[in-house]
Structure 1
């Protein structure tokens, strides 16, 4: 079992660094937007979720390059990886026209979802800019699959850290702008783009990673050993294999991301403050959750390779090790959410003082502290469903992951909409405008906010139960993708 821990950590740690850098960038991005203009943070949350829903089916298909490559390695057929990789590259580049078309219809999409009118222009511009980077995100997912599938995860970590640093630097410059007084000049700040600047920084980082991976893959040691050059042609059979195993993965991403986006949009109907508070709490959830995506990828790659090379027993040991490591990591965060909620949420106002924070922003900070209690409840189960879903995908059991995720998500959302408590569009104090105070959220809005967080918690618990049942059943042990 000790060797299983070592193997999992060797593959997973660089991937956790990579995905952890992504979560850090998201956190810093939204924190900087809150400090620039609190409404921009809530708008970035809703628009960012819609962006991910729009591209994630394609990202999911592209992500299968890692699992399929790992099985080619396990089967002793590394030269077939190059041709499979090229199919994912053609697929990634073909998504660009679709993403730009979706960007054109951004404003009607947000109007249709009944968002607060003041947020729609901010959401629209952020979404439209991000869609220019959609194909870059799909492409970098395809190319990074080679490095995860061949156990070169350190490369992924290095590229991600450099890309994240560039993103953070551009965030600071493009959100707040450059003050000429820094070098003794006069005049207003230049390049102060706010939420648009945050979007531009993200797009640049997406394409930067794709270009870096492409340049590394063209090195001689990869070109020959994995058929990178000789595989440069269309292969209908391999494209079908990528689509067959990748489509349910992508559709599962859409299902989960779509369900989450709907919950966030339903919260957005309650007003700017509930959306800001939700964004703050989810940001800290992302810090705990996103690094575990790296552990999930590691579980997927190792299960795929061991099933072909040495059988299910080795795969089971790796999954068990990944679960225990993930539980320990998540438990530490759960304790922090319970015991230090006020300290964690105060980081959003680290560069501000009480006199400069508006009543709305102060209420959002206070509300977010309570929402972290929900995160503490489900964080371990979120880790469980993530690792087991990754293990099932690595074996090729992608259709079950899809169907289970769709079923659970539809039930959760249907129940959420059907039993949502009545609420009035009054934010402060009681639900009667005449007696409003500036000290607390109205009872009906607070009740509706708690309801949607209860739906979110129940949804994650149900996903964990479904993945655990399928994994325990053991059908995945007999599956192969090559």
Structure 2
């Protein structure tokens, strides 16, 4: 009966408003937000293990290594977000059988990117970090932290193909309005991650035959390996459901497994700006955390600014990751509304999603201000010196106050970008994000480090706050401008159209006026060839 209810929701008529609209949104948003929160909690526990059981320097190394590993991965991750757009709009248009082709295309894109980009990046990992710090004239970290962050990043990059595959499948199920499958896989993967990571970290820290630094390095490698094993489970669960006889009978999910250059081009056609935007943003945050914030430790054996920054980041994840879940739901619901030709409902669902996000992130902002002084304490190991511990607590407290100032704006940016993505409006947000992130996160952070050193690491955090506030207002202005209402993502049905081998096919080349159209550009229905085009997840 529960399954039948989900099918009725996914394929039934759209709610006009009121409680039915809220229920329709929550059916996707609640599991999606819970899934993102589950992921954030697992990251939180991972970092807590690194700090409590190993050292604050291990926390810093895991953060630095993890975010650098995300830089090349995030380009593909951002592009794959439009799998949700294609699947949800096809669902709304009554052509759900076209969705699996996009999930498979995302998996193939992930494997190609992993082999050609991510593995070579893993080999060059430590030198990439050195080059970034040298180019910006920033002091490096201690040799021990440098070794640990490179090792952690390389292990994470080795398992990234699983992460990307899980994301492609996850966006398929979000687009099909079946978020419970993603939630189940995330919880299952996180549970395995926790068990394996704790076991490996405790085993490594019990190696009395090793000196403290090699023991810490081995323990951090165990934490990274546990994450990869958990990701394997997170990818396997939706894959099993996707290939199940029930799904295959209803949507022919096994038919489109072969690589399709046309379907992959569809993803890149409107997904590349999202990939560039997400990748660019991750580069800027990598420079921010691994460069500017860490610079104030100046290679000290007992770091304080880096650990405090990463503690703050863990609490920020607990705040914005559920908002990302609501954004994913907004993308799916807006996409379905537009696929059904109901732009009015797409707008109302956006405001509904925004209200949900602002309620949650507003509560988080209050928590940061009220409980900030005590939030760093769980991350401090028993052996930390009184001076180092007190300094980390003080830095974390005021970093959280700065973070509280942009919580509502961050929620607005995340939700509005999800709505624009659901409509296919991804070029303009991508370009604006690139300019704003380099101008404020990197430019403002660099100015703070070099010309306002008395502010310490609070200076770069203030620049990051200015970036999020400015970006959110620009995205709101874009949405209110209504350009997204004129964008076409799906081809119109024509005679001879069908599905061949699981791939959408047309009687003739759609030409530049159909899917080849560049979303986000105000152009006529049959334009000359133009390029085509997203945020954070």
Structure 1 residue 232 displacement after superposition = 2.7
1:259-408 equivalences in 2 (<5 Å)? 259-264=284-289, 265-271=291-297, 272-349=303-380, 352=382, 356-408=384-436
1:390-469 equivalences in 2 (<5 Å)? 390-413=418-441, 415-416=443-444, 419-422=447-450, 447-469=455-477
Aligned length: 455
Partner SS state of residue 375, structure 1 = helix
Alpha-carbon separation, structure 1, partners of 2:59 and 2:174: 33
Equivalent pair of 1:307/1:480 in contact (CA under 8 Å): no
Alpha-carbon separation, structure 2, partners of 1:194 and 1:414: 33
C-alpha RMSD of the superposition: 2.2
Structure 1 residue 113 displacement after superposition = 2.9
Structure 1 residue 179 displacement after superposition = 8.4
Alpha-carbon separation, structure 1, partners of 2:446 and 2:203: 45
Partner SS state of residue 229, structure 1 = coil
Judged with a 3 Å threshold, the aligned counterparts in structure 2 of structure 1 residues 414 and 149 are, in CA distance, closer, same or farther, namely closer
Judged with a 3 Å threshold, the aligned counterparts in structure 2 of structure 1 residues 112 and 329 are, in CA distance, closer, same or farther, namely same
Which of 28, 39, 45 is the matching residue for 2:45? 28
How far does the alpha carbon of each residue in 1:46-87 deviate from its partner, in whole angstroms, 9 at most, with x for none?
111111112001111222211210011011111111222222
Judged with a 3 Å threshold, the aligned counterparts in structure 2 of structure 1 residues 399 and 18 are, in CA distance, closer, same or farther, namely same
The alignment status of 1:106 with 2:125, answered yes or no, reads yes
Equivalent pair of 1:160/1:209 in contact (CA under 8 Å): yes
Alpha-carbon separation, structure 1, partners of 2:458 and 2:155: 32
1:115-126 equivalences in 2 (<5 Å)? 115-118=140-143, 119-126=145-152
Partner SS state of residue 96, structure 2 = coil
Judged with a 3 Å threshold, the aligned counterparts in structure 2 of structure 1 residues 173 and 307 are, in CA distance, closer, same or farther, namely same
How far does the alpha carbon of each residue in 1:210-244 deviate from its partner, in whole angstroms, 9 at most, with x for none?
12211111111111222212223333322211111
Partner SS state of residue 76, structure 1 = coil
Which of 120, 143, 161 is the matching residue for 1:135? 161
Equivalent pair of 2:292/2:446 in contact (CA under 8 Å): no
Alpha-carbon separation, structure 2, partners of 1:131 and 1:267: 23
Instruction: Tell me the equivalent position of 1:16.
Output: 33
1:221-236 equivalences in 2 (<5 Å)? 221-236=246-261
Identify unmatched segments of 5+ residues in structure 2: 1-17, 134-139, 298-302, 491-537
Partner SS state of residue 376, structure 2 = helix
Alpha-carbon separation, structure 1, partners of 2:204 and 2:440: 46
Partner SS state of residue 255, structure 2 = coil
Judged with a 3 Å threshold, the aligned counterparts in structure 2 of structure 1 residues 417 and 144 are, in CA distance, closer, same or farther, namely closer
The alignment status of 1:5 with 2:22, answered yes or no, reads yes
Equivalent pair of 2:204/2:219 in contact (CA under 8 Å): no
Structure 1 residue 286 displacement after superposition = 0.9
How far does the alpha carbon of each residue in 1:138-192 deviate from its partner, in whole angstroms, 9 at most, with x for none?
11111111210111101111111111111111221122227889xxxx9999997
Judged with a 3 Å threshold, the aligned counterparts in structure 2 of structure 1 residues 356 and 414 are, in CA distance, closer, same or farther, namely closer
Partner SS state of residue 390, structure 1 = helix
How far does the alpha carbon of each residue in 1:70-128 deviate from its partner, in whole angstroms, 9 at most, with x for none?
01101111111122222222111112222111111111112223331332101110011
Alpha-carbon separation, structure 2, partners of 1:92 and 1:208: 17
Alpha-carbon separation, structure 1, partners of 2:180 and 2:105: 24
Partner SS state of residue 480, structure 1 = coil
Partner SS state of residue 456, structure 2 = helix
TM-score, L = length of structure 2:
0.81
Equivalent pair of 1:374/1:453 in contact (CA under 8 Å): yes
Structure 1 residue 309 displacement after superposition = 0.8
TM-score, L = length of structure 1:
0.90
Instruction: Tell me the equivalent position of 1:78.
Output: 96
Alpha-carbon separation, structure 2, partners of 1:417 and 1:329: 28
Alpha-carbon separation, structure 2, partners of 1:172 and 1:229: 37
Alpha-carbon separation, structure 2, partners of 1:33 and 1:446: 30
Alpha-carbon separation, structure 2, partners of 1:144 and 1:422: 43
Structure 1 residue 22 displacement after superposition = 0.8
Structure 1 residue 362 displacement after superposition = 3.1
Equivalent pair of 1:83/1:227 in contact (CA under 8 Å): no
1:181-200 equivalences in 2 (<5 Å)? 193-200=218-225
Partner SS state of residue 95, structure 1 = helix
Which of 49, 67, 70 is the matching residue for 1:49? 67
Structure 1 residue 358 displacement after superposition = 5.0
Equivalent pair of 2:193/2:229 in contact (CA under 8 Å): yes
Alpha-carbon separation, structure 2, partners of 1:294 and 1:389: 12
Judged with a 3 Å threshold, the aligned counterparts in structure 2 of structure 1 residues 417 and 152 are, in CA distance, closer, same or farther, namely closer
Alpha-carbon separation, structure 2, partners of 1:327 and 1:347: 27
Structure 1 residue 42 displacement after superposition = 0.8
Structure 1 residue 201 displacement after superposition = 1.2
1:229-268 equivalences in 2 (<5 Å)? 229-264=254-289, 265-268=291-294
Between stretches 222-231 and 28-37, larger displacement belongs to 222-231
Judged with a 3 Å threshold, the aligned counterparts in structure 2 of structure 1 residues 27 and 450 are, in CA distance, closer, same or farther, namely same
